[in-house]
A and B are shown apart, each in its own frame.
Chain A
Amino acid sequence: MNPSRWNLARNVAVTFIVILIYTWAWKGLKIDPSILDNSLNYIQVFLADFYPPNWSVLDIAIKALIETIQMSIIGTTLGAMFSLPIAIASTHNLSPRWLRWSANLLQNALRSIPSVVLALIFVAAVGLGAIAGTLAVSIYTIGYLAKFYQEAIESVDPSSLDALKVTGASWFQIAQYGIFPQVSFLCLGYTLYMFEYNIRISSIFGVVGAGGIGFELVTYINGFERQKAATLMIVLLVVVTIIDAVSSKLRRKLESL
């Protein structure tokens, strides 16, 4: 078969397989298009209940949001502190194979636990409230930040580390003078990104009683006090947008250093 015919046959086969996958997924969900007919009306009715926002709960919203931010600050910091040694243990340029294997296994295990499940585990362990949420945020953070830190450390220019190695520098000196300066700003950027993300995650944790704004939000929605819920959502939106903007600017600045 000449190359152009071979390419054509391959493209047809790939297209056929892609169509097959989508058909399988669609059929598996048993989606009935008639269900969607009235969905727009239901959404309108649901959203109409949120208007106008009830500003009488503004102080509650701010208090709950402050708690969410506090959970994110402490959770991210704790997570970052534990992520660093796990990341170092996972890297191929700093750690022996056996340690790398165990550290990577730990990272994968942490990443495979859904965030809400983590929150439920800590609610069971320490009871309802922000402490459970903070612990869940920190464990969730380790799963991701350790991976980000590991990638950053592994992307360090190997010749710069060899250059230190040939001076007779110790493992610790290579880490301090070779790796740390090259990854510190990048890792700080990743940590800021994780902090942003954790504010959103912390808001969800409240749903299972792990503190933060989510708890009040779900209580108002389920109690048909949706105008109060709207206030909470607006406050959350404004604060998350501000933090996003500040953090993005900071990260851009860090990346250019």
Chain B
Amino acid sequence: MTIECKNISSRQKSALGSPILNNISCQIKKGEFVALLGINGAGKSSLLKSLMGLIPLEKGEVRINDILLTPNNINKIRRQTAMIFQGGGLIRQLSALDNVLCGTLGFRSSWQTLWGFNQGDRLLALELLTELGVKEHAQQKVSKLSGGQRQRVAIARALIQSPQILLADEPTSGLDVIASHYVMESLARLNREKHITVIVVLHDLEMAATYAKRAIILEKGRVIHDGSSQNLSTQFNQTVPTILPSLNGIKPIIQQIA
């Protein structure tokens, strides 16, 4: 099993006092493409962060490639896994190339990177930027790039780690339709061609159905659906009344947004 979560609950609580992640269990096999869905505050981003050890757990355990996630072996796990943050999580003042090279920091000592990155890493980073169609922006500061270009730089930074697992937190947020599909297609290609396990947080049900075979829907930190990504609107039809019993009138709007 590539990823295994057993009854995980976060120490952090929501405004209502319940844990942000509330007794979540799920298993994800190698090579799967999973969409993580749910309304805002459902715990999607927190679940991804918990897989990378960024959120302290109250109880439960996470295993990545059969290695139990603990403070002692967290760096070992992080070297096998890469994460694309919401908005890219890039350093705006650095060039696209340097941002990609930051992905190699875990493989190099502080001493090795004190005066910059080595030539081999630079060539690899350029190759990745070329593959993702942003080579001409390699020397440009990330703050000068468009949202779609930034996301591709973020993908390149994740890929330079040669991860077995790729976690992407809303990689299409703030992007137009074309840029969104370009980003999703890049992730799908990595999954298809390099057999990288991909878990992606999405808000678009149609997009989830197009790119992912499996969908996990979260609500108030709990898994309320884990199965096929087809007919997801039916799933939301069933869950939205329980989430917002008094707002049935705006249900179609919520479904469109979700």
| A166/B93 in contact, CB under 8 A | no
Query: Is the CB of B103 closer than 8 A to any CB of chain A?
Result: yes
Give the complex CA separation of A182 and B54 in angstroms: 22
| A176/B91 in contact, CB under 8 A | no
Interface residues of A in 80-112 (CB under 8 A from B): none
Q: Secondary structure at chain A's binding surface: helix, strand, loop or mixed?
A: helix
Give the complex CA separation of A184 and B88 in angstroms: 21
Query: Is the CB of B22 closer than 8 A to any CB of chain A?
Result: no
Query: Is the CB of B114 closer than 8 A to any CB of chain A?
Result: yes
| A182/B93 in contact, CB under 8 A | yes
B222 shortest CB reach to chain A, Å = 24
Size band of the interface chain A makes with B: 20 to 34
Give the complex CA separation of A170 and B83 in angstroms: 17
> For A157, A160, A166, A182, which residue has the most chain B Cβ atoms within 10 angstroms?
A166
Give the complex CA separation of A185 and B94 in angstroms: 13
A167's partner among B86, B88, B161 (CB-CB below 8 A) is B161
| Contact segment of B3-11, B23-31, B105-113 | B105-113
| A166/B94 in contact, CB under 8 A | no
Give the complex CA separation of A165 and B109 in angstroms: 14
The number of residues on chain B lying at the interface, defined by a beta carbon within 8 Å of a beta carbon of chain A, is: 33
Give the complex CA separation of A160 and B92 in angstroms: 9
B46 shortest CB reach to chain A, Å = 12
B85 shortest CB reach to chain A, Å = 5
| B113/A162 in contact, CB under 8 A | no
Q: Which residues of A contact B199 (CB under 8 A)?
A: none
| A182/B92 in contact, CB under 8 A | yes
| B78/A181 in contact, CB under 8 A | no
Interface residues of B in 194-243 (CB under 8 A from A): none
Q: Which residues of B contact A131 (CB under 8 A)?
A: none
A-B interface contact total, Cβ < 8 Å: 77
Interface residues of A in 156-207 (CB under 8 A from B): 157, 159-160, 162-170, 172-173, 176-178, 181-182, 184-185
A163's partner among B90, B93, B98, B110 (CB-CB below 8 A) is B90
Q: Which residues of B contact A166 (CB under 8 A)?
A: 52, 54, 78, 81-83
Interface residues of B in 48-74 (CB under 8 A from A): 49, 52, 54
Given the interface contacts A166-B52, A167-B102, does A160 sit within 8 Å of B107 by beta carbon? no
Q: Which residues of B contact A177 (CB under 8 A)?
A: 91, 94, 98, 102, 105, 113
Residue numbers of A with Cβ under 8 A of B are 157, 159-160, 162-170, 172-173, 176-178, 181-182, 184-185, 257
Residue numbers of B with Cβ under 8 A of A are 49, 52, 54, 75, 78-79, 81-83, 85-94, 98, 102-107, 109-110, 113-114, 154, 157, 161
17 extra A-B contacts, CB within 8 A, seeds A165-B54, A166-B78, A177-B94:
A159-B86, A160-B90, A162-B85, A163-B85, A163-B157, A164-B105, A166-B52, A166-B81, A167-B106, A168-B106, A173-B110, A176-B113, A177-B102, A181-B91, A181-B94, A182-B91, A184-B93
A-B pairs, top 9 by smallest CB distance, nearest first, are A168-B106, A163-B89, A169-B105, A172-B110, A181-B93, A159-B89, A167-B106, A168-B78, A168-B75
A sample of 5 cross-chain residue pairs with beta-carbon separation below 8 angstroms, ordered by A number, consists of A167-B106, A177-B91, A177-B98, A178-B91, A181-B93
